[in-house]
Amino acid sequence: MVARSNGWRPAPGSGLWAMDRRQALKSMAAATGCVMAAAVGCGGGGQTTTPTTPTAPSLPVGVFSPTGADLSFLDALEQQGCLYFWEQASPVTGQVLDHAANNLSGQIDPSTTQASIAATGFGLTALCIADQRGYLTGVTHAQIVARVQTTLSFHLNNMLNENGFFYHFNDVNTGAPLSGSEVSSIDTAWLMCGVLAARAYFNDATITSLATQLYERVNWPWMLNGGQTFAQAWYPSTAANPGFSSSRYDTYCELMALYLLAIGSPTYPIAATYWANIARPTLTYEGYSYISSNSDPLFTHQWSHAWFDFRTKSDSYTNYFTNSIYATQAHETFCLMTYPKWYTEIYWGITSSNYVGGYTAWGGPPAQGPIDGTVVPCAAAGSLIFLPNECLEVLEALKSNWGAQAWGRYGFVDAFNSNSSPKWYNTDCLGIDLGISVLMAENVRTGLVWSTFMSNPEPVSAMQLAGFH
């Protein structure tokens, strides 16, 4: 596959390996310097942090009372997103494509073989939702169960792994790692979230056995590499820089699921004390004070919340659900106040995505990346559980006003810019961005993903060990 004219990321083998979200952030930090709020330095693993009590929000969350039209929209968002995880996955391996065109007619995208273990983790969870709601027309419960069994069996028995950790990008048909791909700690965590969600949802002995073996095989201490925080990646001997990366998950971001899965492991756990090794800097913006890295987009406040239910629990630092409410409110305020010529109350939201120049990790506050008036629908969709009324209003307006170009077979395209001349519309979907949209839409409606995932004993135990109460 060659680079798409709409700005898609270059493919493996093109000489321009696609950066993932962390690599994009690292690249931006190197170019601009790393500045942390509240006098907490870059990195910061093991630093002492002060418990944070977020300030009162200036934009009340309100009660979520969706109308019939609202529910119909959310149904479409979920059903079409779930369709992606059925059609854009190999029936032989169960792997889900990292990205695909949004104008297909049911066939798997022939222009790419790039699968993502993170997209597959979202996909396993989306299949739970699809089964619960009967979203896959013509597909039976038995067929969904068989697909989940195939996915788990292939990952357990056929895919290359290192101490239970998987390569980030793989060939969708063979499972072989793509050239240049890393063994990813965080993306393995997203896969395991999906594995445990499927184990809890499907009352099937084969799924239970395969899922348990996959989770219990992960040697979490190995990825610490003798340190106090997790390495972000490991590279094989054939890579330019083999071994563990120097970059670590040492500062608050989307990392909560990674640490909690490791703490809760019944076979290869890390000590609960590692929870305190995460630096938690405080960012203050327009009256909002919340734990956040100064260089992380909005998705970092969303992804762990898709599976782990933090709503009524706090540790010694904060209530992370409330923390993400303030992060979302700050982001909306940032868009409207900083770029009023582009963003409005019905058109806002930037998080790691494609844009006309390729792929970037961007957002704010503070401003990160080449902000140009592009909107990323999963920014609002991923925060539906935090600001349901505001985010739903944005999503419905995006479809109503720009849906002719921005909405296709699987729902929203990854990103579009109605402010540019000419207007730009990405023609592709990104699996992980559809995934966070589907999961959060279901959680705001029924809490299904939370109740299912949290019925596993390991995440419950992990949160207790980490000091949640």
The model's pLDDT over 261-306, given as tens digits with 9 standing for 90+, comes to: 999 999 999 999 999 999 999 999 999 999 999 878 999 999 999 9
- Collapse the DSSP code of 54 into the 3-class scheme (helix H, G, I; strand E, B; otherwise coil) and give the result: coil
pLDDT at residue 421 tops 80: yes
CATH at residue 138:
1.50.10.140
Q: Count structural domains, the chain.
A: 1
Confidence bin at 63 (pLDDT 50/70/90): confident
Per-residue pLDDT of 363-418, as tens digits, reads: 999 999 999 999 999 999 999 999 999 999 999 999 999 999 999 999 999 999 99
The average confidence (pLDDT) of the chain is 90
Q: Residue 218 is part of which domain span?
A: 21-465
Amino acid letter, residue 189? A
pLDDT at residue 4 tops 70: no
Measured at the CA of 334, the angle between CA 328 and CA 340, to 5 degrees, comes to 130
In a domain, residue 43? The reply is yes
Helix extents (H) in 202-314: 205-217, 220-224, 256-263
pLDDT at residue 36 tops 80: no
Q: What is the mean pLDDT of residues 205-214?
A: 98
In a domain, residue 249? The reply is yes
CB within 8 Å of 202: residues ≥ 6 apart: 128, 131, 145, 148, 208
In a domain, residue 2? The reply is no
- Collapse the DSSP code of 227 into the 3-class scheme (helix H, G, I; strand E, B; otherwise coil) and give the result: coil
pLDDT at residue 7 tops 70: no
pLDDT at residue 24 tops 90: no
pLDDT at residue 321 tops 90: yes
Q: What is the mean pLDDT of residues 55-75?
A: 78
CA distances from 54 to 1, 134, 282, 334, 367 (A): 46, 40, 9, 17, 21
Rounded CA-CA distance 370/378 in Å is 18
| Proportion of the chain above pLDDT 70, given as a percent | 87
Per-residue pLDDT of 442-456, as tens digits, reads: 999 999 999 999 999
Instruction: Find, among 294, 344, 304, the residue nearest to 324 by Cα.
Output: 304
Q: What is the mean pLDDT of residues 164-182?
A: 98
In a domain, residue 14? The reply is no
CA distances from 294 to 33, 253, 290, 298, 367 (A): 11, 10, 11, 11, 9
